[in-house]
């Protein structure tokens, strides 16, 4: 049931996508050969070398005409251009290209659509089609549109696209159809999952300047379809793929062509099991893990580990040998839940046996309570004090181990407890060298009369190595001045309490890991916001940095400082729920669109409220960063100091950053105008004290802060 809910809600979708991408990268190490009987592909690239040879851009179209003639003469099967020919240029050059297209009869030209803003703030969708003269001479037209998923990755390609009211085959489809002499593919087929394994074996990549000048080997294009497109970074036609680095659009078109070619040849491409199959696998793992894990805790862990390894091996083998993307995330969640439930069951059984057999039940129970829901270090200190009372000890210490080290090793962290009224001696509790030996041989050691390390202070000391399964947790040291030997019950109590402390200490370590994961998840959410609203690239990260500086200057405690920083990082997360036509609109919003946009603080609040570990201050920053000091903001109309402090900080930095950076609908304002704008809105939109503090920081650290908002230059045709 939990697996079905996870799939239905899509809560695991980001992890599943990244896992599938990892399997694609693994599968790409053993790429299938291009299918026989279908022409393979070569790429002619508008690369940096070609731009240096012909630096004046846009190029005269006679150069493309010469490239077509050279490729035809070399025996190219089809030539397809991923280049915009929608605007007329020099008539003589256009005629030269038209003549080359007509003479060849085997050239496909690119078609696409794009949004264009109008002066009144609205926008229209403009189709970019080859000019009428070029279109009439070309053999076909093909759409170069590829969808980018919400995490910024290109994984699919449409087989057809609607451009200017007409259905246009993709560039890969049109090229393959022309090469095979077919009329076209059906438009109702589902989108094509790009088989990135087929980026290997590497297809020939030839600089277009070498083609124009005749300096290439004709064998590299003979009998192949040739895709012509930009690879130079100046064109910014780069798209992230599951393979990692961003790749030029023409390379993605080449992968799409090979994917279609393999499909035509009857070969199986990348695919993922259907949802019923995923649920069946999760149910099977749960059943096997539940039945096979009956018995000891060690057996249960062994069964779950074997299932996890088997699932991972099956996923790797499927990607390597069959192009099957088995989802490892859902099985891992199912097995992890079984482990947690089994661990809780083990703890309950362990507690019942102690209740029946130990005279020190009450003390053990108190230790268990101390470790339930306590703060990490505080809970351990309380557990040590309870153990000290039970063992009548004068001092107890937990010397933490480094579980990641290959050999037994202790780190610098230790937790100590001393009986009230005891003066702390100069030396720490326990001997580090002896503790390391005990941790290595995994046996309890009791020293009576002479203290460890040769110190002749009398008394007694117990050294107990702490492990959870095979994970080293540390060494528990119990010292007391009374040299009387400990009886069996006391020793067993120390060992039992030590086991509980080991479990709790390991849980503390895992919780710290989860906190690190939370930080990484928040960063990933911020990345998703920036990917959705691309023109504010790095906006959230800058706000986190600058708001953190203000929070630090205000003397906030570390926890509140971090909460404000996270709130700034997540302040616009609600924009994920705003429609693209509103969020990405470059012009002025209409009243209805403005009301729609003003929903994003409430949407963001709902999104992050369920994240465990976020402080209320973080939620306040997301919900209230558009409130005004005079009460004229939204979404609650708060005013003055009723607006949470973190939100007042973020509000000032948010507006400063927006005014200081370029946007599609405006240029960045000069810094003097930005400063004047903030001064003008003191007591109206902003808390005057926050504005004054921010401007002081700007005076002291302004150049460094401005260097962080400098936008990279964008190459244009």
* 118, 388, 394, 477 from 418: Cα distances, Å: 75, 8, 6, 12
Residue 683, phi-psi category: left (phi > 0), alpha (psi -120 to 50), beta (remainder): left
- Can you say whether residue 398 is alpha, beta or left, with left for phi > 0 and alpha for psi between -120 and 50 degrees? beta
- pLDDT for the residue 716: 28
**DSSP 8-state secondary structure symbol assigned to residue 577:** G
520-529, pLDDT tens digit by residue?
666 666 666 6
Contact indicator for 17, 308 with CB cutoff of 8 Å: no
Q: Are 383 and 497 in contact (CB under 8 A)?
A: yes
Q: What is the DSSP string of 416-474?
A: EEE-TTPPPPSSPSS-HHHHHHHHHHT--EEEESSPGGG----SEEEEEEEEETTEEEE
CA neighbor of 385 nearest in space, from 418, 349, 347:
418
Best CA proximity match to 537, nearest among 626, 452, 662, 449: 662
Domain extent listing, the chain: 1-32+271-357, 42-264, 359-507, 533-708
Q: Mean pLDDT, the chain, as a whole number?
A: 80
* Mean pLDDT calculated for residue range 465-471: 82
**pLDDT score for 712:** 39
Is residue 372 pLDDT above 60, yes or no? Answer: no
**CA dihedral in degrees (277, 279, 283, 289; nearest 10)?**
90
Q: Which two tokens stand for residue 45?
A: 């690239």
pLDDT classification of 709: cutoffs 50, 70, 90: low
Most confident of 458-462, 592-596, 621-625: 621-625
pLDDT score recorded for residue 378? 57
| Predicted local distance difference test score (pLDDT) of residue 489 | 72
> Tens of pLDDT along 443-457?
888 887 555 454 445
One-character DSSP codes across 483-546: -PPP-HHHHHHHHHHHHHHHHHHHHHHHHHHHHHHHHHHHHHHHHHHHHHSGGGTTHHHHHHHH
Chain centroid to CA 561: 24
The model's confidence at residue 355, banded by pLDDT at 50, 70 and 90, is very low
CA 545, 550, 553, 556 torsion: positive or negative?
negative
Residue 55 has pLDDT above 60, yes or no: yes
- pLDDT surpassing 90 at residue 632: yes
**What mean pLDDT comes out for the span 169-179?**
93
pLDDT, tens digit (0-9, with 9 covering 90-100), for 664-685: 656 788 888 989 999 999 999 9
- Report d(CA 136, CA 140) in Å as an integer: 9
CATH class of the domain at 359-507: alpha beta
Q: Kindly tell me if the per-residue pLDDT of 387 is higher than 70.
A: yes
Lowest mean pLDDT among 531-545, 603-617, 648-662: 531-545
Residue in the block written with tokens 């969808």: 147
**Residue 365 half-sphere exposure, CB side, CA atoms within 13 Å?**
10
- Tell which wins on pLDDT, 521 or 177: 177
Where is average pLDDT lowest: 39-48, 227-236, 343-352, 673-682?
A: 343-352
- d(CA 553, CA 388) in angstroms, rounded, equals 43
Encoding tokens for residue 16?
A: 């599943």
555-566 per-position pLDDT tens digit: 998 889 889 988
3-class secondary-structure state, position 253: helix
What CATH fold (topology level) applies to the domain 533-708? Hypothetical protein af1432 (1.10.3210)
Total residue count of the chain as it appears in this document:
717
Whether pLDDT at 434 is above 70: yes
- Per-residue pLDDT, averaged over 192-217, amounts to 92
Whether the CB-CB separation of 329 and 15 falls below 8 Å is answered with yes
* For residue 58, pLDDT beyond 60: yes
97, with CB counted inside 10 A (0-12, 13-18, 19+), is: buried
Q: Measured in Å, how far apart are the chain's first and last C-alpha atoms?
A: 55
What's the pLDDT at 359? Answer: 39
Q: Over 90: is that where the pLDDT of 459 sits?
A: no
């Amino acid at each position: 049931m939990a697996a079905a809910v996870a799939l239905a809600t899509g809560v695991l979708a980001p992890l599943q996508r990244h896992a599938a991408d990892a399997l694609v990268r693994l599968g790409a190490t053993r790429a299938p050969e291009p299918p026989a009987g279908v022409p393979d592909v070569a790429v002619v690239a508008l690369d940096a070398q070609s731009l240096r040879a012909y630096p004046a851009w846009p190029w005269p179209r006679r150069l493309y005409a010469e490239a077509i003639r050279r490729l035809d003469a070399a025996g190219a099967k089809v030539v397809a251009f991923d280049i915009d020919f929608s605007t007329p240029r020099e008539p003589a050059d256009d005629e030269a290209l038209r003549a080359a297209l007509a003479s060849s009869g085997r050239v496909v030209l690119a078609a696409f659509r794009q949004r264009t803003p109008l002066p009144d703030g609205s926008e229209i969708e403009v189709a970019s089609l080859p000019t009428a003269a070029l279109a009439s001479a070309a053999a076909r037209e093909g759409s170069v549109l590829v969808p980018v998923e919400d995490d910024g990755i290109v994984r699919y390609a449409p087989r057809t696209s609607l451009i200017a009211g007409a259905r246009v085959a993709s560039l890969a489809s049109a090229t393959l159809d022309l090469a095979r002499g077919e009329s076209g593919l059906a438009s109702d087929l589902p989108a094509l999952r790009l088989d990135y394994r087929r980026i290997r074996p590497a297809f020939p990549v030839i600089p277009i300047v070498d083609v124009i000048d005749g300096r290439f080997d004709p064998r590299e294009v003979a009998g192949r379809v040739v895709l012509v497109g930009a690879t130079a970074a100046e064109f910014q036609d780069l798209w992230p793929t599951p393979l990692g680095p961003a790749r030029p659009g023409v390379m993605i078109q080449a992968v799409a062509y090979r994917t279609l070619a393999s499909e035509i040849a009857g070969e199986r491409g990348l695919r993922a099991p259907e949802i019923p199959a995923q649920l069946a696998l999760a149910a099977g793992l749960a059943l096997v893990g539940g039945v096979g894990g009956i018995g000891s805790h060690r057996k249960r862990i062994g069964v779950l580990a074997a299932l996890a390894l088997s699932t991972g091996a099956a996923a790797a083998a499927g990607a390597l040998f069959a192009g099957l993307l088995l989802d490892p995330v859902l099985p891992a969640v199912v097995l992890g839940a079984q482990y947690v439930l089994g661990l809780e069951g083990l703890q309950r059984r362990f507690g019942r046996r102690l209740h029946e057999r130990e005279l020190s039940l009450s003390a053990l129970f108190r230790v268990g309570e101390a470790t339930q829901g306590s703060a990490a270090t505080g809970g351990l200190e309380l557990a040590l004090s309870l153990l000290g009372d039970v063992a009548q000890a004068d001092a107890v210490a937990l010397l933490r181990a480094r579980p990641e080290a290959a050999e037994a090793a202790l780190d610098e962290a230790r937790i100590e407890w001393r009986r009230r009224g005891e003066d702390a001696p100069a030396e720490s509790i326990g001997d580090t060298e002896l503790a390391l030996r005990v941790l290595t041989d995994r046996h309890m050691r009791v020293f009576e009369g002479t203290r460890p390390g040769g110190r002749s202070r009398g008394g007694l000391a117990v050294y107990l190595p702490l492990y959870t399964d095979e994970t080293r947790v540390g060494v528990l040291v119990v010292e007391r001045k009374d040299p009387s030997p400990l009886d069996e019950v006391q020793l067993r109590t120390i060992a039992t309490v030590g086991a509980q402390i080991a479990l709790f200490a390991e849980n503390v370590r895992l919780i710290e890991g989860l906190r690190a994961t939370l930080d990484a998840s928040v960063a990933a959410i911020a990345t998703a916001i920036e990917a959705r609203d691309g023109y504010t690239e790095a906006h959230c990260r800058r706000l986190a940095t600058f708001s953190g500086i203000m929070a630090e200057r205000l003397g906030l405690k570390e926890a509140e400082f971090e909460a404000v920083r996270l709130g700034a990082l997540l302040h616009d997360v609600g924009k994920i729920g705003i429609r693209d036509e509103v969020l990405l609109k470059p012009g002025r919003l209409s009243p209805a669109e403005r009301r729609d946009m003003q929903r994003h603080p409430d949407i963001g609040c709902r999104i992050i409220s369920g994240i465990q570990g976020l402080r209320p201050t973080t939620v306040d920053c997301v919900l209230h960063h558009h409130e005004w000091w005079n009460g004229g903001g939204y979404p609650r109309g708060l005013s003055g100091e009723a607006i949470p402090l973190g939100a007042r900080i973020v509000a000032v930095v948010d507006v400063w950053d927006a005014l200081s950076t370029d946007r599609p609908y405006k240029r960045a304002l000069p810094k003097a105008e930005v400063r004047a704008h903030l001064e003008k809105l003191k007591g109206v939109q902003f808390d005057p004290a926050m504005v004054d503090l921010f401007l002081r920081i700007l005076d002291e650290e302004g150049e460094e802060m401005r260097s962080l908002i400098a936008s990279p230059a964008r190459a244009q045709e």
